[in-house]
Structure 1
Amino acid sequence: MKLFYSSASPYARKVRVLIREFEVSVTEKKINTSDNDPDFIKSNPLGKVPAMTLEDNTIIFDSGLIGYYLDEKYNDRHWQAKTWDHKQLEASIQGILDQSVTMIIEKRRPEEIVYDYWIERYKHAIPRGLAWIWQRYESYLSEGMSLASVSLVCALEYLDFRHPEIQWRKDLPDLEAWLNHWKGRQSFLETRPE
């Protein structure tokens, strides 16, 4: 199997963490998505990471879908959400990742066409969303590893990497302690964004 990834992508990082946690044999190919590598485009015509080619040449893209595949095929404990409420948690964390990445895209536009309204909106929405997640799902997240907990570690460390101005720790010291518990795990250390 082959995984296409970029080292800064929090979506690809989620998958790379799972590969390590489940001890899956995968060739990881680091790419620059703007290069439009033909093998990469074959694995995801949308040109987004992560993209995975399976042994039978089946392609899977989207971090959530790849995560479900790896969890079902290689993890006896099955970390994916089993209730709609916990699926809501996974979707909420995905939303925070989406907003964080969208902010970077917006900031990289030429200054005269940067839409500050969206940047400011997400700067407020992200901490509010994290507070809601922690208030509602703290006990579930504290039970152990899950697809949601992997996503949340990746989201929080992506915020630290790309958006240090978002001071989420100030109002969520228990969430910071939770992150500190998990972020030293080998799978997270090996996949930290560059």
Structure 2
Amino acid sequence: MSASLTLFYSPTSPYVRKVMVLLHETGQLDAVRLHGVTLTPLNPSAEVNEHNPAGKIPALQLADGSVLHDSRVILDYLDQLHGGEPLIPREGAARWRRLTLASLADAVLDAAILVRYETFLRPEDKRWDDWVLGQCNKIDRALAHFEKSADELGQRFDVAAIGAACALGYLDFRITDLNWRRDYPKLAAWYSSVGQRSSLQATAPAP
């Protein structure tokens, strides 16, 4: 089957990784062509900007040439294309709860990426330690919530679990001095178990 969708993609992007995990879980990998791009805030991609004015990935080009962007939009779109059990509940309280947990996972990613930019891209003499601390505090508050919700996360592997797993994977990948497993043992145990899934193994960024 020829791919009818094109995903603007980088294997190190945790937002892209969420989309890739869903494609693995729902058996849709063959429907999507991966188009690799390299971009940073200082080196945007003209090609990406043409399709997504925000200049961010993932962006998903549909068969008619239109483009979806923001991982949450793309996940929702792809989840409605397959015939299996939805990974985003379609209605009711479960939908809003799981989307809220997924949003909290995105908040972890947003804060972690800001820490990465501040500590890696910004010249050392211009770094703002209080800014980094503020972002780390956001991460800690979110992880504390996930610690209390670890049993809930483990109920099924859906949009909430995908988001949380990709967020924790990004912390391990880019903020290696954050010893979150020490402070959040239930979350660590959940992540250790769910990390054995083939979709997460296949999408893990190379160290």
Report sequence identity in percent: 33
Q: Sort the Cα spacing of 1:89 and 1:8 in 2 relative to 1 into closer, same or farther, 3 A.
A: same
Q: State yes or no: 1:123 paired with 2:136.
A: yes
**1:125 partner amino acid:** K
Structure 2 counterpart of 1:2: 6
**1:74 partner amino acid:** H
**Contact map agreement 1:15 1:66 (CA 8 A) in 2:** yes
Gap runs ≥5 in structure 1: none
Q: State yes or no: 1:155 paired with 2:194.
A: no
Q: Which runs of 4+ in 1 moved over 3 A?
A: none
Of the two structures, which has the highest relative contact order with CA contacts closer than 8 Å and spacing of 6 or more? 1
Count of aligned positions: 192
**Contact map agreement 1:123 1:166 (CA 8 A) in 2:** no
Within the candidate set 49, 61, 75, 2:69 is matched to: 61
List per-residue Cα deviations over 1:106-159 (Å, max 9, x = no partner). Answer: 111112221111111222331231111221x33321111110101111100100
SS at match of 1:174: helix
What is the correspondence of 1:59-138 to structure 2 with a 5 Å cutoff?
Answer: 59-81=67-89, 82=91, 83=93, 84-107=96-119, 108-135=121-148, 137-138=149-150
**Contact map agreement 2:76 2:88 (CA 8 A) in 1:** yes
Q: Sort the Cα spacing of 1:145 and 1:100 in 2 relative to 1 into closer, same or farther, 3 A.
A: same
Q: State yes or no: 1:50 paired with 2:62.
A: no
SS at match of 2:203: coil
**Contact map agreement 2:26 2:84 (CA 8 A) in 1:** no
Q: C-alpha separation between the residues in 2 aligned to 1:22 and 1:43? A: 25
List per-residue Cα deviations over 1:51-70 (Å, max 9, x = no partner). Answer: 11011112001011101111
**1:105 partner amino acid:** Y
**1:117 partner amino acid:** D
- RMSD between aligned residues: 1.6
Q: C-alpha separation between the residues in 2 aligned to 1:118 and 1:145? A: 34
List per-residue Cα deviations over 1:52-95 (Å, max 9, x = no partner). Answer: 10111120010111011111222531111543333321221111
**Contact map agreement 2:98 2:159 (CA 8 A) in 1:** no
Gap runs ≥5 in structure 2: none
